[in-house]
Amino acid sequence: MEWFGIVALLLMLCYSAYPGKVKRLETKVKRLEKKQRGVAYMSKLINDLVGKQCIIRSEFIFSFAGKTELSCKIIDADDEWIKICYTEKKDKQVVKLMRIENIDSIEEQ
């Protein structure tokens, strides 16, 4: 009989931490949903800029262009990706794909 009481006490102690964990997971899910809605709204705005010359600012651009902002033409866009075309130093046209979530800001020229 004592063992039953000890086992019940241990189970109660183990499961008492779950409400806190559930609350933390709920806040994380809400934060991710808000972020996803923002990205979806941004992709709708970017669709309006298709075919226009823009300046895109992003830390991601530094890896392939050597600077944090890039003057380019937006060729196509969907919910997650944007297709851009820009000119390198030697008048070479380069087409790249970027994730929308990596973009800090876009300015229309």
16-28 tens-digit pLDDT = 767 777 788 888 8
67-77 tens-digit pLDDT = 788 899 999 99
- Provide DSSP, 3-46: HHHHHHHHHHHHHTTHHHHHHHHHHHHHHHHHHHHHHHHHHHHH
Give the global pTM. Answer: 0.61
Parent domain of 101:
2-108
The whole-angstrom distance between residue 25's C-alpha and the CA centroid of its chain comes to 19
Distance from C-alpha of 61 to C-alpha of 72, rounded to nearest angstrom: 11
Edge-first strand listing for the sheet containing 105-108:
93-99, 81-87, 69-77, 53-57, 105-108
Tokens of 22: 């559930």
Domain of residue 57, CATH code: 2.30.30.100
Number of domains in the chain: 1
